[in-house]
Structure 1
């Protein structure tokens, strides 16, 4: 009689643990689905932004240096499992990004004197003119890469 009660209690405990494990697996599956959806949404948003910036650069509605900074940062923020080396994939826009990344922006720029601002603007424009044709030639490849994601 005692053994029967012990076996029944053990079966109840095993059944409860099985239900709990099943519940945890279901919650994990839901969490993974939410994360995948969030990752897909983020990828779509970044992809759309990169394409929009590239089009603006092609139509000269956006300065090349600003576009290069934005595109490089967005490409690096893509939540991909195995992202390619964007430095090698798009070397010209990355070279422009590296060349202009040292200039003062936002609050730092506000602190500069007018003469220093003009000096930086002239240097930035010189760098942009050196990279312009190569960057513009690379923009269709960037757009097609993002559209293929």
Structure 2
């Protein structure tokens, strides 16, 4: 009777150990898949940021539009700990903050022509104010992105 209980206890412990080992194995595989997915996301985002920065430097993209897109993409990077981008790239983030209050998309189309022109002029003045400093930071952003990939 004693040996039967002992054998039963050993079988239960072995089954639980096997189950725990299987769970640990599955957790390891899940963490590996998440790391691969995170790295792919980082690569995709950094490639987009680099492309936008190049378009901005070649004047194929408005500075304000590029700053908005770059800031949104950098904020979406799955990095831990999250870098302090507004300290690292203060001029691009400064431009982003100043132009982010303007109407876009449907809200912009709903404006009358005079208000739309007023906003366009104000945005162009802000872009002119930040132009040289933002263009100077584009290389820093490209270098930062290449360091992540």
Counterpart of 1:53 in structure 2 is 52
Secondary structure, counterpart of 2:79 in structure 1: coil
How far apart, CA to CA, are the structure 1 residues paired with 2:48 and 2:58?
A: 15
CA distances 1:37-95 after superposition (whole Å, capped 9, x unpaired): 11101100110000000000000000000000000111111111112211111111111
Aligned residues: 148
RMSD: 0.7
How far apart, CA to CA, are the structure 1 residues paired with 2:79 and 2:41?
A: 10
Shift, 1:19, TM fit: 0.6
TM-score normalized by structure 2? Answer: 0.97
Counterpart of 1:26 in structure 2 is 25
CA distances 1:84-111 after superposition (whole Å, capped 9, x unpaired): 2111111111110011000001121121
Counterpart of 2:147 in structure 1 is 148
Counterpart of 2:8 in structure 1 is 9
How far apart, CA to CA, are the structure 2 residues paired with 1:64 and 1:133?
A: 10
Secondary structure, counterpart of 2:10 in structure 1: helix
Counterpart of 2:94 in structure 1 is 95
How far apart, CA to CA, are the structure 2 residues paired with 1:104 and 1:70?
A: 15
TM-score normalized by structure 1? Answer: 0.97
Secondary structure, counterpart of 2:91 in structure 1: helix
Task: Structure 1: give runs of 5+ residues left out of the alignment.
Answer: none
Counterpart of 1:83 in structure 2 is 82
How far apart, CA to CA, are the structure 2 residues paired with 1:94 and 1:15?
A: 58
How far apart, CA to CA, are the structure 2 residues paired with 1:16 and 1:84?
A: 45
Counterpart of 1:127 in structure 2 is 126
Counterpart of 2:42 in structure 1 is 43
